[in-house]
Amino acid sequence: MALPMLIANVNEDDSVESYTGKIFESAMATLDHVRHSLDKSAINRAVDLLTQAKKIAFFGLGSSAAVAHDAMNKFFRFNVPVVYSDDIVLQRMSCMNCSDGDVVVLISHTGRTKNLVELAQLARENDAMVIALTSAGTPLAREATLAITLDVPEDTDIYMPMVSRLAQLTVIDVLATGFTLRRGCKIQR
């Protein structure tokens, strides 16, 4: 099943109506595809890990850092210690200080970012559980304790990451909802 590529299918001579329609159609098609292809057992296991966590860290680089920041903004309201940084040195230090009961969530569409793969290794060496939100078959997916794989055919080496980020944000919403339903916690406003 081919999905429309955001930006890749926009032509220089497209009108505002045309490129706006293409962007919305691509976003909706991607979210629908991810919804149907998402491994619900991986989501359930991730919610288990997150609800049992003593501390949760969310890390990403580039456009995935914005997704990690959004996750922090949701989860810090749930009365659990949450860590976020877009600085690789602070991310490494946080993973070095992990311990049993901590969960590190690493977000990367390509799953090839060397720094994030190293963070997964470092966190696991320090007894943390690692959840990767990434593409299937990637180094990051292989290094994680649990991989939530997103089938989003977007070549971010060539095109600006858009639909992959939307899919990641939506899965963060799914995890946050599962967390609140499982824990029954009150949200801090």
- 91 neighbors 108 (Cβ within 8 angstroms): no
Identify whether 142 is part of a domain.
yes
Cα distances from 6 to residues 130, 162, 165, in angstroms, run 30, 7, 12
- Domain enclosing residue 97, as ranges: 16-183
List the chain pLDDT tens, one digit each, 189 residues.
Answer: 333 444 557 777 889 999 889 888 888 988 999 999 999 999 999 999 999 999 999 999 998 999 999 999 999 999 899 999 999 999 999 999 999 999 999 999 999 999 999 999 999 999 999 999 999 999 999 999 999 999 887 665 555 668 889 999 999 999 999 999 998 766 555
117 CB-near residues (< 8 Å, 6+ apart): 111, 139, 140, 143
Q: Report d(CA 72, CA 59) in Å as an integer.
A: 9
CATH code, domain carrying 82: 3.40.50.10490
Predicted model pTM: 0.90
Domain count, the chain: 1
